[in-house]
Structure 1
Amino acid sequence: MMTKIGFIVGSLREGSYNKITAKTFAKLLPPNYEAVWIEIGDLPFYNEDLDVDGKTPEQWIDFREKIATCQGFFFFTPEYNRSVPAVLKNAIDVGSRPYGSNVWDTKPALVVSVSIGAISGFGANHHLRQALAFVNMPTLQQPEAYVGNVTNLLDDNGEYITSTKDFFQLIVDKYVDFFERLTK
């Protein structure tokens, strides 16, 4: 049976380092795991007044249905002003509402923050973990996935250098072990 892992990237920029990182992680999944790419850029901002029969935006319905098909999630986030981008927080809000219909509930998560700076998106990583704790997503604690000074970790072709990919493989392997312990 194929295990579906939702991949959510908090950066909308076409050449995003978070997208490059997510694509690298997807290649490292075991053969019985599938990366399911989930777009969040087209989600209208959450407004409870719209979350009623006949008014719920189609994008929210489609998003929630796609989330429901995944057994776990990898989140990739840049850091904007020591926190996560609004688009990523909005996706979490849309998936956790209306009250009592949280599609994130109990699905194991991995948080990866990617930055051109030295502190590696530490603030965003931890803000995202706070939100995931509230929506009841157990999140891999170790190894922590902070990717700082990202431009120094890419070769001339825009691919991660071998030692970094080896670290990413360790993270993926630990997540798979974590996921399997929680879902068996």
Structure 2
Amino acid sequence: MSVRILALVGSLRSGSHNRQLAEAAVKLAPAGTEVALYEGLAEIPFYNEDIDVEGSVPAAAAKLRETAAGADALLLFTPEYNGTIPAVLKNAIDWLSRPFGAGAIGGKPVVVVGTAFGQYGGVWAQDEARKAVGIAGGKVIEDIKLSIPGSVTRFAETHPADDAEVTEQLTDVISRLQILLDRPTAA
């Protein structure tokens, strides 16, 4: 069975440590699993019911929905901005939650991980992302977590893919998600 995991990154910065973490996840995906890094969150307009009309949904939002609908699970990478989830990630969750009751993440397994400068690795933002995803209809996998503290210093000269501890932890996250998806009762 082939498993497709869609990775969404809550930072738009090109040198984002969370983006680097997502890039590492793409490389670390075991055989039979594809982690696909979504590009284009910056192009999606802020969610507005006035523009979320069948037949005229903005192309960038429609593409996100279509891509998420084709995935078996989502893996969200979030930094922590002012103690909470970044707007770009929250906006993606909002678009994916609609139409109400039939959103692209409805019932889909979702894991939230990330890295941040603070000593707790962005756990507040991760908790907020889990809350938003759960309310939006996603199946939050609470027991698969990864919070990497001190990102600014830890990854100042090292890509997360070159950090043995991080690659081990990230590989474990992806493997546990793959095992969950391989079970017949997973979704």
Structure 1-normalised TM-score?
0.90
Q: Distance in 1 between matches of 2:152 and 2:84?
A: 21
CA separation of 1:68 and 1:163: change in aligned 2, threshold 3 A: same
Q: Which residue of 1 aligns with 2:10?
A: 10
Cα RMSD for the two superposed structures: 1.9
Q: Which residue of 2 aligns with 1:107?
A: 108
Q: Which amino acid aligns with 1:160?
A: D
Q: Which amino acid aligns with 1:24?
A: A
Q: Distance in 2 between matches of 1:38 and 1:153?
A: 25
1:33 lines up with 2:33 in the alignment = yes
How do residues 93-172 of structure 1 correspond to structure 2 at under 5 angstroms? 93-154=94-155, 156-158=157-159, 159-172=161-174
Q: Which residue of 2 aligns with 1:62?
A: 63
Q: Which amino acid aligns with 2:181?
A: F
Q: Distance in 2 between matches of 1:57 and 1:143?
A: 33
Q: Distance in 1 between matches of 2:123 and 2:28?
A: 23
Q: Which residue of 2 aligns with 1:19?
A: 19
Q: Distance in 1 between matches of 2:70 and 2:81?
A: 29
CA separation of 1:86 and 1:27: change in aligned 2, threshold 3 A: same
Q: Which amino acid aligns with 2:166?
A: T
Q: Distance in 1 between matches of 2:102 and 2:128?
A: 22
CA separation of 1:10 and 1:164: change in aligned 2, threshold 3 A: same
**Which deviations, in whole Å up to 9, do the C-alpha atoms of 1:134-184 show, x marking residues without a partner?**
123222323421011124544845343212211222222222222223437
SS class of match (1:49): coil
Greater CA drift, 160-169 or 91-100: 160-169
Aligned residues: 184
SS class of match (1:102): coil
Q: Which residue of 2 aligns with 1:177?
A: 179
**Which deviations, in whole Å up to 9, do the C-alpha atoms of 1:53-100 show, x marking residues without a partner?**
453212121211111111101100000111111110000101111223
Q: Distance in 2 between matches of 1:53 and 1:138?
A: 25
Larger RCO: Structure 1 or Structure 2 (Cα < 8 Å, ≥ 6 residues apart)? 2
Gaps of 5+ in 1: none
Greater CA drift, 85-94 or 144-153: 144-153
